Amino acid sequence: MVSRMSMVSQKNVTVINFAQSHVSIDFSYTVSEIQNTVFPILLAHGKSYKLAFAKNYDGQKFARSRALSRVSIGFS
């Protein structure tokens, strides 16, 4: 019975260590690359969606030809 309790404790430590990890993903694609790869998969079965890639900030439009995204997932 003692060895079984030890195994349970080791599993709990592993879960705690995983929960304290940090994942960060950066990616950059042109809009045309995204449209050519991702959207045809998402827009299957004849569905059509209108998408806008321009953003207004202080009256200026950012370029539509570039999209930069950053995903950060943290567990603490």
Q: Give phi and psi for 34, each to the nearest 5.
A: -65, -45
Q: Give phi and psi for 71, each to the nearest 5.
A: -120, 130
pLDDT at 59: 46
pLDDT at 63: 46
* Full domain range(s) for residue 15: 2-74
Q: What is the pLDDT of residues 22-58, one digit of tens each?
A: 556 666 666 565 555 555 555 555 554 444 444 444 4
Question: Distances in Å between the alpha carbon of 52 and those of 5, 30, 44, 60, 70?
Answer: 56, 14, 19, 15, 18
pLDDT at 38: 52
Report the share of the chain in percent with pLDDT over 70: 0
Averaged confidence pLDDT in the chain: 51
Beta strands in the chain (DSSP E): 22-30, 56-57, 60-61, 66-74
How many structural domains comprise the chain? Answer: 1
Give CA 42 to chain center in angstroms.
Answer: 16
